Chain A
Amino acid sequence: MTFTARHLLGLEGMSREEILYILDTATSFREISEREIKKVPTLRGKTVIGFFYEASTRTRMSFEIAAKRMSADFISLSAGGSSVSKGETLLDTARNLAAMRPDGIILRHPSAGAPHFLAQRVDCPIINAGDGAHEHPTQALLDLLTIREHRGTLDGLKIAIVGDILHSRVARSNLHALRALGAEVRLVGPPTLLPRELRAWAEVTHDLAEGVRDTDVVMTLRIQRERQGANFFPSLDEYARYFCLTQSALRGAKPGVLIMHPGPINRGIEIASDVADGPYSVIMEQVTNGVALRMAVLFLLINRSREADMPEIEAAPEPALHRKAG
């Protein structure tokens, strides 16, 4: 398998082989975080910028820890403390960052397509850490890694994604990746938060009990209060009454169903505390796997010479062969 992608912008259109290659690489990186010395020298001398236009705890920390465990220098920039607050455009800011010759830029932005926009204009690998309601590829990949760790495969699994699908980039990335790996996806939520066009991709239901019936995995999504400009449901209480994942709502799921949540959790709104903290919850494993997954992504995208992007020359020497033999 040859991994040739220069950026990680989204999972839509990514092949099964590419996804599995990233997951396999991530699996081999998990052990590094268990060591006493949690650091390998692989990305020594590489500079990674984490550029966050939106608030983030998990994703930003996870990328930073991943970069540091690979020995890369990680510089974090948030919109509030940057020239963005003085009115500089995304492109101008990114061009200036790129002029400082980083080896990768991780971007979180409220607008869908922002990382794609930069990828075409800036000469450096771009990793999408969430763009609007579009995609959040590393979150979906770490979800897949967690499921695969428990079930061995994604093929044939029934997976329900519950909640605010409309605003969820996590749901979109997962939908593409889960389908690519052969899982059967069911989307569950109130009609106002469930775009009709997704019916082409997945089974859709507005009934929680029906949605989780016979599922192997239930992913709950956060109600994104900051994006609730219009009223999509009458009140949080009413939403919770119909869509909060409780022990009783889970009765119809398969025994040992995995409970997942990308965080941060609104306890008692989209998931009950006893479910989030219960025996089937793998929410903390998701967070642990996030570091290994992001180490793999940084390794695959950043650790490459510029020549690697050039067409192969026939008479090229093969130094790797001799070095392995050494």
Chain B
Amino acid sequence: MNEGRVQQRQERNGRERIVMDGQAVERALTRIAHEILERNKGTEGLVLVGVRSRGVYIADRLRARIAAIEKVDLPSGIIDITLYRDDLSRARQQPTIKGTDIRFPIDDRRVLLVDDVLYTGRTVRAALDALMDFGRPQNVQLVVLIDRGHRELPIRADFVGKNLPTAVNELVQVRLTESDGRDEVAIAQSAE
């Protein structure tokens, strides 16, 4: 919902730094897939849940990699956290809701919660609340492509593609082929 604005700002500033290119994104995801399998000692009870929208694409890629390595196709779901956000009534404009789609029980499963960027932790808080409405997982492990710091809640990631020290006034944008035509991660200066 904010992509348009981000794009505008970048054009206004013209200052953008690419911190991960396509290859780096690919390698990070391959490493995360191996780490997930190593730490969980296989795929027993694992399910993937991607946070709309880029978390879903990352979850799909991890699923494909795990299928290639272990020959196991993990159940994969989608979570839309809009209804659980803590800033909804502050939003000037209604965000469009695309819906949650989890078609398997998550009770006693090990849930890999996948998002693109971990920042304040508020999205993850909302996603955890949403997940709990679907059942009682054995545990939830957080997977993010980028951890940019500045947490406002006691939340940490279990699997991280890249730790990216940032200033609060910087914008981190993850671009993925599925939504943006190519894979890369960029940092831009905020206009504020």
Q: What residues of chain A have their CB less than 8 Å away from a CB belonging to chain B?
A: 1-3, 21, 24-25, 27-29, 31, 35-37, 39-42, 299-300, 303-305, 307-308, 312, 316-326
- The residue that B87 contacts in the complex, of A35, A307, A323, with Cβ under 8 A, is A323
Asked whether B134 lies within 8 Å of A35 as measured between CB atoms, the reply is yes
- The residue that B1 contacts in the complex, of A28, A308, A317, A324, with Cβ under 8 A, is A324
Given A25-B96, A40-B133, A308:B6 Cβ within 8 A: no
A-B residue pairs in contact (CB < 8 Å), sample of 23: A2-B94, A3-B94, A28-B80, A28-B98, A28-B99, A35-B133, A35-B134, A40-B83, A42-B88, A300-B94, A305-B89, A308-B92, A308-B93, A316-B92, A317-B192, A319-B87, A321-B2, A321-B6, A321-B171, A323-B122, A325-B117, A325-B171, A326-B152
Asked whether B119 lies within 8 Å of A320 as measured between CB atoms, the reply is no
Residues of A close to B88: CB separation below 8 A: 42, 303
Given A41-B84, A318-B5, A321-B2, A312:B92 Cβ within 8 A: yes
Residues of B close to A305: CB separation below 8 A: 89-91
A24 CA / B172 CA spacing, docked (Å):
30
Asked whether A324 lies within 8 Å of B97 as measured between CB atoms, the reply is no
Q: Annotate B125-141 by CB proximity to A: 1 below 8 A, 0 otherwise.
A: 00001100111000000
Given A24-B96, A25-B97, A31-B100, A42:B118 Cβ within 8 A: no
Residues of B close to A320: CB separation below 8 A: 1-2, 87, 91-92, 95
Q: Say whether B29 faces chain A, with CB atoms less than 8 Å apart.
A: no
Residues of A close to B91: CB separation below 8 A: 305, 308, 320
Closest CB-CB distance, B165 to chain A, in whole Å?
Answer: 15
Closest CB-CB distance, B149 to chain A, in whole Å?
Answer: 11
Residues of A close to B124: CB separation below 8 A: 326
Asked whether B92 lies within 8 Å of A326 as measured between CB atoms, the reply is no
Q: Say whether B120 faces chain A, with CB atoms less than 8 Å apart.
A: yes
Asked whether A42 lies within 8 Å of B95 as measured between CB atoms, the reply is no
**Residue of A whose beta carbon sits closest to that of B122:** A326
Residues of B close to A325: CB separation below 8 A: 117, 119-120, 123, 148, 171-172
**Residue of B whose beta carbon sits closest to that of A39:** B133
Residues of A close to B45: CB separation below 8 A: none
**Residue of A whose beta carbon sits closest to that of B97:** A28
Q: Annotate B20-31 by CB proximity to A: 1 below 8 A, 0 otherwise.
A: 000000000000
Asked whether A37 lies within 8 Å of B133 as measured between CB atoms, the reply is yes
Top-10 shortest CB links A-B: A28-B99, A326-B120, A326-B119, A40-B83, A42-B83, A28-B97, A325-B119, A326-B122, A321-B2, A37-B133
- The residue that B5 contacts in the complex, of A1, A29, A319, A321, with Cβ under 8 A, is A321
Q: Say whether B101 faces chain A, with CB atoms less than 8 Å apart.
A: yes
Q: Say whether B75 faces chain A, with CB atoms less than 8 Å apart.
A: no
A29 CA / B100 CA spacing, docked (Å):
9
Asked whether B101 lies within 8 Å of A29 as measured between CB atoms, the reply is no
Residues of B close to A323: CB separation below 8 A: 85, 87, 120, 122-123
Residues of B close to A308: CB separation below 8 A: 91-93
Q: Annotate B144-179 by CB proximity to A: 1 below 8 A, 0 otherwise.
A: 000010001000000000000000000110000000
Residues of A close to B6: CB separation below 8 A: 321
Asked whether B171 lies within 8 Å of A2 as measured between CB atoms, the reply is no
Closest CB-CB distance, A254 to chain B, in whole Å?
Answer: 31
Residues of B close to A35: CB separation below 8 A: 133-134
A323 CA / B133 CA spacing, docked (Å):
22
Residues of B close to A322: CB separation below 8 A: 119-120
Residues of B close to A2: CB separation below 8 A: 93-94
**Residue of B whose beta carbon sits closest to that of A316:** B92
- Residue of A24, A321, A323 with most partner-chain B CB within 10 A: A323
Closest CB-CB distance, A224 to chain B, in whole Å?
Answer: 36
A317 CA / B148 CA spacing, docked (Å):
20
Residues of B close to A21: CB separation below 8 A: 96
Closest CB-CB distance, A73 to chain B, in whole Å?
Answer: 15
Asked whether A42 lies within 8 Å of B192 as measured between CB atoms, the reply is no
Residues of B close to A307: CB separation below 8 A: 90, 92
**Residue of A whose beta carbon sits closest to that of B99:** A28
Closest CB-CB distance, B90 to chain A, in whole Å?
Answer: 6
